[in-house]
Amino acid sequence: MVLPRVWINYKPRIYTDIFKYLFTNLGLIEVVEISPAGQDFREIGARKDIDVVLLSLDGLGQPDPDVPAGRLKGAKVIAFSPKGDYGLRRMPGKTNWEELRPFGLTQLMEELVVEKA
């Protein structure tokens, strides 16, 4: 079984830590760490393909704007509310977002399943 490579950049930071702990201990994902300072993402991405990016939603229900678009290329992007009522999904190479309602832990786990050829 190939584990999906997931970058988690959820706010507040405690949620990122909880998701990393939970999903790595369950053996569902391989966490990809990206240094926020000094490293070029393209260089990192060449060595470590990212399958899924997890983001929080801002106060307006949009994906967190603090994440550079270059970090999201080539990956499925999932952004969701901590309330579990709303999520967005953008597939690799696409520009449109799909709305996902409701969006709880079960839906998140289903989104992490990545099929590789």
Please state the domain extents for the chain: 5-112
pLDDT confidence of residue 113: 78
Q: How confident is the model at residue 37 (pLDDT cuts 50, 70, 90)?
A: low
pLDDT digits (tens, 9 = 90+) for 7-31: 999 999 999 999 999 999 989 899 9
pLDDT confidence of residue 28: 86
Taking a C-beta distance cutoff of 8 angstroms, is the pair 90, 52 a contact? Answer: no
Query: For residue 58, which phi and psi values (nearest 5 degrees)?
Result: -80, -175
pTM score, whole prediction: 0.84
Q: How far is CA 13 from CA 9, 59, 71, 110, 115, in A?
A: 8, 16, 18, 22, 28
pLDDT digits (tens, 9 = 90+) for 45-103: 444 578 999 999 988 889 987 777 777 778 999 999 988 899 999 999 898 999 999 99
